[in-house]
Amino acid sequence: MKTEINIGLLGFGVVGSGVAKILQNHQEDLRHKLGTPVTIKKVLVKNLNKKRDTAVGIEAFTTDLNEVLEDESIDLIVEVMGGTYEAKDAIERSLRAGKGVVTANKDVMAEYGLELLKLADENKCDLFYEASVGGGIPLIRTLEDGLASDRITALTGIVNGTTNFILTKMKHENMSYEDALAEATELGFAEADPSADVDGIDAARKMVILASLAFSTNVRLEDVFVRGMKEIRDGDLELAERFGYTIKLAGSAKKDEDGVEVAVEPVFFPNSHPLSSVNNEFNAVYIYGDAVGETMFYGPGAGSLPTATSVTGDVVAACRNLLLGVNGKRLHAPQFERKVKNDSNKFSRYFHRIIVKDEVGVLTKLTSIYSQHGASLATVVQHLDEKEAGADLVFITHEISRQQHLDIVNELNGTPEVIGVSSHYRIEGEE
């Protein structure tokens, strides 16, 4: 039986240093749970001369990936180096060398997850990726194990802490988008280049991972409908509140007999919905199962120690498998073929805010456009806004397809009486 498990740690940034700190501070707990110590044997870094506040000995650090992967005493690789191509190459080489991998890399798992999981199966290795979605929230493990006997039909949630922090500041403190983003950057919630967050790409990658796992199929990034938060217009947050809604940049995934649909976009949630009260940098995912019904998972979606906690949880799971001799025994092949819905098969209610010329007969003209596209209206309200040049109308539809919605918006924007469709949102989370 193994008397010690050695780890090769690839990366020693915010998450990597957090993993090292947890492993060092919790050695007694790990010995109790596993019956053996867990030691960081090698650490891959870019700069050996950088000053680091850590108990890991200087002799463990290296700039040579080969030195880590070719060390036969290393049992498990923890990849927290970030990036895509170098990280993917390191994971592939680790698996081919017969070493299990724990990764926090959402970019790699969203784009190459199926390929890498297949490689892990072929080489009888574990590949764990809990920290790739949701920071400290155990979402992957819940879908793989806790809800394994259920059939998941839908999930929706806030999976990007940066945008949620910005929207919270905009709604509750009346901050501008620019000021809220600046504060998020100052606090470390946003990167120097926040485009992946605010354009919805980060959330889309996470939804690819969750949807692929929840529905046991191959979901690709190009399958995700993506709209970023930059399309939220001035006054929309207050207008949503007036109608009993809260705006969140949310990811959603649904599956039925017609296939799978996945989207990331600003949506309206009723104020009574649990996701409406998820604020600041916190994440939450609402899961719908045939048997379990509705469940919600909530917690910190980012940060050194929350993310490192998820990584370390995967390390413990991988170590247990190594000690029991059952590593690489999980089958990761998708159960169902890839089948993605088109826009004609995606249904929801929609909120349309339309600026029109203040003329007689405009309302009749607009309602006829909805009627021609087979859409019925639940609400028609003229919203008075002194800042707008014309009349500000709000239409809320009954359930229509996304294609109907897109066709209506396109025709409205081409109508002479319409100054412009100021904003539009899908309504999520209603009964």
Positions marked catalytic: 206
3-state secondary structure string across the chain: CCCCEEEEEECCCHHHHHHHHHHHHCHHHHHHHHCCCEEEEEEECCCCCCCCCCCCCHHHEECCHHHHHCCCCCCEEEECCCCCHHHHHHHHHHHHCCCEEEECCHHHHHHHHHHHHHHHHHCCCCEECHHHCCCCCCHHHHHHHHCCCCCEEEEEEECCHHHHHHHHHHHHCCCCHHHHHHHHHHCCCCCCCCHHHHCCHHHHHHHHHHHHHHHCCCCCHHHEEECCHHHCCCCHHHHHHHCCEEEEEEEEEEEECCEEEEEEEEEEEECCCHHHHCCCCEEEEEEEECCCEEEEEEEECCCHHHHHHHHHHHHHHHHHHHHHCCCCCCCCCCCCCCCECCHHHCEEEEEEEEEECCCCCHHHHHHHHHHHCCCCEEEEEEECCCCCCCEEEEEEECCEEHHHHHHHHHHHHCCCCEEEEEEEEEECCCC
